[in-house]
Amino acid sequence: MSPAPAAVLELFRSRFGGVADGVWLAPGRANLMGEHTDYNEGYVLPFALGQGIVAAAARRTDRRLVLCSAQEPGGAADVSLDGLAPGRVTGWAAYPAGVAWALAVAGYELPGACLAIDSDLPAGAGLSSSAALECVTALALTELAGLDIDRRELAAIARRAENDFAGVPSGIMDQSASLLGRRGHALLLDCRSLDSSQVPFDPAASGARLLLINTRASHELTAGEYGRRRAECEQAARLLGVPSLRYLTDTGDLDRLTDAVLRRRARHVLTDDRRVLEVVGWLTSASRDAYPEIGRLLTEAHLSLRDDFEVSWPEADAAVDAALAAGALGARMIGGGFGGSVLALVREDAADQVRAAVAGAFAERAWTAPEFLAAAPSDSARHL
Ligand code: GAF
């Protein structure tokens, strides 16, 4: 799991000549609970995946940032560190170039660098390949520069690259998971205070398994719906007279929203924030019921994302229904929505039948077969 360093070192050698100064890895993420809560200052509970993005990198003596990627054979980029500004770099290279720009805006001096990139995160699967690309670039560039930056600050810098340079209005969850995740744990992050803690999360130890199902319906956060949801949440908070939807504590408060759509959006955020804390309660309870209860909460969250927040998509609904019918403890779509992946929690002995049922449901509808991926809570970004 995670691309082999030997392959990215070979890519580096063939594109740039010479030997890289090092290889860095940043993982993608799955999210156990708390969707569309991060930009509402609420709670999230993601974990870093074993799959991720690696970068072989070396300093240059000039002020250029030169990038190539195994996944973008025709798309090498060569930009001057001095001319970086939002809008100047487009496509995949906007993410790494945006990190160099955001580091400079934060006052950090960087040397020029060559980066060769490789990934085993399926693109468009909603597993945060863009955040992993930002985080691996941030780590590689800062270590090449001899800088040791606190990871919370690095996550904020990577997010700034995504928001202000690449123009994607995302929250802080994905970069935090990639930079702060820990093997065998989920990351509880309070997106208001940015306090975080590691919550032990080892389903295998309780005879359970996580199944990640890439529905192969590709998602794109730059498309308008994500930004629209964000704007609706901000409008609901304004109408309720709170700084953000995180401040809601009582479902009764929602009745003050006369617009039914805004009321549903706010109800999703309020109930998903609660579900995050409930899942943490079960994970730390040592109760035999923990995994069945977490499964129930996953399915509840899916219904909330489908009906209240309206960000699910047909392949995700079919995957969730088929997984539940085949005995999964629970399942839900993860990430921003409108495409991407589903996370199912299953008893170990039911994993094969759940996989077969989901594959069967897709075949019946003549959809592209789903891809099943391992989802093991893994370590955060690092120098390999
Ligand atoms: C995407 C965003 F990048 C995150 O910040 C988060 O809002 C998520 O969608 C939805 O929970 O992954």
Give the atom of ligand 1 at the shortest distance from the alpha carbon of 336.
9
- Ligand 1, atom 3, lies closest to the CA of 170
| Cβ–Cβ < 8 Å for 344, 330 | yes
Question: Which ligand 1 atom sits closest to the C-alpha of 37?
Answer: 11
Mutate which of 163, 174, 310, 312 for ligand 1? The one with the most ligand atoms within 8 Å of its CB, which is 174
pLDDT given for residue 161 in this prediction: 98
Query: Tell me, what's the pLDDT at 222?
Result: 53
HEC string for 218-286: CCCCCCHHHHHHHHHHHHHHHHHCCCCHHHCCCHHHHHHCCCHHHHHHHHHHHHHHHHHHHHHHHHCCC
Q: Is 338 in the pocket of ligand 1 (CB under 6 A)?
A: no
* pLDDT on residue 223: 64
Burial 300-322 (b: 16+ CB within 10 A, else e): bbbebbbebbebbbebbbbbbeb
Q: How many CB atoms lie within 10 A of CB 383?
A: 10
Q: How many whole angstroms separate alpha carbon 292 and alpha carbon 302?
A: 16
Centre of ligand 1 from the C-alpha of residue 14, in Å: 36
Rg from Cα positions in the chain? 21
Return the structure tokens found at 36.
Answer: 């569309």
pLDDT, residue 124, reads 87
29 lines ligand 1 (CB under 6 A): no
**Per-residue model confidence (pLDDT) at position 221:** 58
Closest CA to ligand 1's atom 5: 171
Testing ligand 1's pocket by substitution, the residue of 127, 173, 333 carrying the most ligand atoms inside 8 A of its CB is 173
The token duo for 208 is 């359970």
Ligand 1 midpoint to CA 278 (Å): 20
Number of residues assigned to the chain? 384
Residue 275 near ligand 1, beta carbon < 6 Å: no
State which residues of the chain have pLDDT below 50.
Answer: none
Q: Whose CA is nearest to atom 1 of ligand 1?
A: 336
Q: How far is the CA of 7 from the centre of ligand 1 (A)?
A: 30
Span from the CA of 294 to the centroid of ligand 1 (angstroms): 21
Ligand 1 atom having least distance to the Cα of 44? 11
Q: Answer whether 171 contacts ligand 1 (Cβ < 6 A).
A: yes
User: Which residues are part of the catalytic machinery?
Assistant: 174
The pLDDT value recorded for residue 220 is: 65
The letter for the amino acid at 233 is C
pLDDT at 34: 98
Tokens of 269: 């955020």
pLDDT of res. 246: 97
Give this prediction's pTM.
Answer: 0.96
d(CA 358, CA 320): 8
Q: Does residue 273 line the site of ligand 1, with CB under 6 A?
A: no
Cβ of 36 less than 6 Å from ligand 1: yes
What pLDDT, on the 0 to 100 scale, is given for residue 4?
85
C-alpha of residue 241 to centroid of ligand 1, in Å: 24
CA 162 to chain centre: 13
Q: What is the pLDDT of residue 1?
A: 72
Number of neighbouring beta carbons within 10 Å of residue 16? 18
